[in-house]
Chain A
Amino acid sequence: MATDLSRFRQTFIDESRDGLDAMEAGLLGLERGQADADTINAIFRAAHSIKGGAGTFGFGTIAAFTHRVETLLDEVRAGSRAATAELIAALLAAVDVLRGLIDGAAAGASDDPSACVDVAARLQALLDRQPAVAGPAVPAGPADTAPAGWRIRFAPQPEMVAGGNDPVRLLRELATLGEATVVADRSRLPALEALDPEALHLAWTVTLTGPAATREAILAVFEWVEGECELDVAPLEARRDAVSPASAAPAPTAPPAAGGGGPPAPAVGRGAAAPVPGDATSLRVSTAQLDELGNLVGELVITQSMLGQIGRDFEPRRLEQLLSGLAQLERNTRELQESVMRIRMVPISFAFNRFPRMVHDISARLGKKVHLRVTGEGTELDKTVIEKIGDPLVHLVRNALDHGIEPPEERRAAGKPEEATLTLAACHRGGEIVVEIADDGRGIARERVRAKAVERGIIAADAALSDEQVLDLIWHPGFSTASEVSDLSGRGVGMDVVRRNIQALGGGVELRSREGAGTAVAIRLPLTLAILDGQLARLGAQVFVVPLVSIVESLKIDPGQLGELAGRAQVYRLRSDYIPVLRAADAFGIPASAGSAGGMLMVVESDGRRAGIVVDELLAQQQVVIKSLEANFRAVPGLSGATILGDGTVALILDVPGLIGMTHRGGDGSRHGHPRDGLAVAA
Chain B
Amino acid sequence: MSAIAADAGAPAGHAQYLTFVLAGEEYGVDILRVQEIKGWDVPTPIPNTPDHIRGVINLRGTIVPIVDLRRRFGLPVAEYGPMTVVIVLKVHGADRQRIIGIVVDAVSDVCSVGGDELRPPPDFGGAVAVDFVRGLATVGGRMTILLDIDQLLDAVTAPAA
Contacts and interface: CB of A to CB of B under 8 A. Distances in A.
A649 B48 contact: no
B32 interface: no
B46 interface: yes
Contact of A632 (B44, B55, B62, B159): B62
A299 B61 contact: yes
Given A627-B62, A629-B46, 12 more contacts: A295-B61, A589-B47, A631-B98, A633-B65, A634-B157, A634-B159, A638-B47, A638-B48, A644-B58, A644-B63, A650-B56, A652-B44
A542 interface: yes
Interface centre among B45, B62, B98, B160 (most CB of A within 10 A): B45
Interface centre among A299, A627, A632 (most CB of B within 10 A): A632
A542 B44 contact: yes
28 contacts: A295-B61, A298-B61, A542-B45, A589-B47, A589-B48, A590-B45, A627-B63, A629-B56, A629-B63, A631-B62, A631-B98, A633-B63, A633-B65, A633-B156, A633-B157, A634-B157, A636-B48, A636-B49, A637-B48, A638-B47, A638-B48, A639-B46, A644-B58, A644-B63, A649-B44, A649-B58, A650-B43, A652-B44
B10 interface: no
Given A637-B48, A650-B44, A652-B46, A632 B61 contact: no
A628 B64 CA distance: 10
Contact of A590 (B47, B65, B98, B99): B47
Contacts of B57: 650
Given A633-B156, A634-B159, A650-B57, A588 B47 contact: yes
Contacts of B147: none
A632 B63 contact: yes
Interface string B142-161: 00000000000000110110
Interface centre among A295, A302, A633 (most CB of B within 10 A): A633
Interface of A: 295, 298-299, 302, 542, 587-590, 627-629, 631-634, 636-639, 642, 644, 648-652
Contacts of A542: 44-45
A642 B64 CA distance: 11
Contacts of B29: none
A632 B65 contact: yes
Contacts, number: 71
Interface of B: 43-49, 55-58, 61-65, 98-100, 156-157, 159-160
A632 B157 CA distance: 9
A588 B56 CA distance: 15
B47 A631 contact: no
A636 B61 contact: no
Given A631-B98, A650-B58, A652-B44, A642 B63 contact: yes
Nearest to A651: B44
A60 B57 CA distance: 55
A632 B49 contact: no
Contacts of A302: 61
A112 B55 CA distance: 54
A628 B63 contact: yes
A636 B46 CA distance: 8
A593 to B, nearest CB: 14
Contact of B61 (A590, A644, A651): A644
Given A587-B47, A631-B63, A632-B99, A648 B156 contact: no
Contacts of B63: 627-629, 631-633, 642, 644, 650
Nearest to A539: B47
